[in-house]
């Protein structure tokens, strides 16, 4: 069955960087883009970015442009997202989701990774 398993809780100081992972299984990894979405405490969903494993093409939200790097490791079927120069506004649960091209931006979702940015 399709599964996306994310890395755990991260606590970072302002200005630091964090790298999150999203390990997938149960489907052909290269065929499906991965979307990253975050949710600040008590808030709604916010799209962060997108990566297409087959080409490495990426796209991201304006408010993280220049601070985010999304990559994939096809051999381990894992997607990564690095976010740099963290501020308290980056405190959130970060989700990865599998996109089905031509269908939907997230049919299966990871359990989420909590990132806390605090001094």
Partner 1 sequence: VLTQSPLSSPVTIGQPASISCSSSQSLVNSAGNTYLSWLQQRPGQPPRLLIYRISNRFSGVPDRFSGSGAGTDFTLKISRVEAEDVGVYYCTQSTHFPYTFGQGTKLEIK
Per-residue HEC secondary structure of the chain comes to CCEEEECCCEEECCCCCEEEEEEEECCCHHHCCEEEEEECCCCCCEEEEEECCCCCCEEECHHHCCCEEEEEECCCCEEEEEECCCCHHHCEEEEEEEEECCCEEEEEECCCEEEEECC
Does residue 44 touch partner 1 according to CB under 8 A? yes
Does residue 88 touch partner 1 according to CB under 8 A? no
Closest CB 8 distance from partner 1, rounded Å: 15
Does residue 29 touch partner 1 according to CB under 8 A? no
Does residue 8 touch partner 1 according to CB under 8 A? no
Give whichever of 16 and 112 is closer to partner 1, judged by the CB atom.
112
Closest CB 65 distance from partner 1, rounded Å: 10
Does residue 50 touch partner 1 according to CB under 8 A? yes
Give CA–CA dist 114/103, Å, rounded. Answer: 28
Select the span of 9-17, 21-29, 79-87, 106-114 touching partner 1 (CB under 8 A): 106-114
Does residue 99 touch partner 1 according to CB under 8 A? yes
**Terminal CA-CA length for the chain:** 40
Q: Which residues bind partner 1 (CB under 8 A)?
A: 35, 37, 44-47, 50, 59-62, 95, 97, 99-100, 102-112
């Amino acid at each position: 069955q399709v599964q996306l398993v994310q890395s755990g809780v991260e606590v970072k100081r302002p200005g630091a960087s964090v790298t999150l992972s999203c390990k997938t299984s149960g489907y052909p990894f290269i065929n499906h883009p991965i979307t990253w979405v975050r949710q600040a405490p008590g808030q709604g969903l916010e799209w962060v970015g997108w990566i297409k494993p087959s080409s490495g093409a990426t796209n991201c939200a304006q408010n993280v442009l220049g601070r985010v790097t999304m990559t994939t490791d096809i051999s381990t079927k894992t997607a990564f997202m690095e976010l740099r120069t963290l501020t308290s506004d980056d405190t959130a649960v970060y989700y990865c989701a599998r996109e089905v091209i031509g269908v939907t931006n997230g049919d299966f979702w990871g359990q989420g990774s909590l990132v806390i940015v605090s001094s």
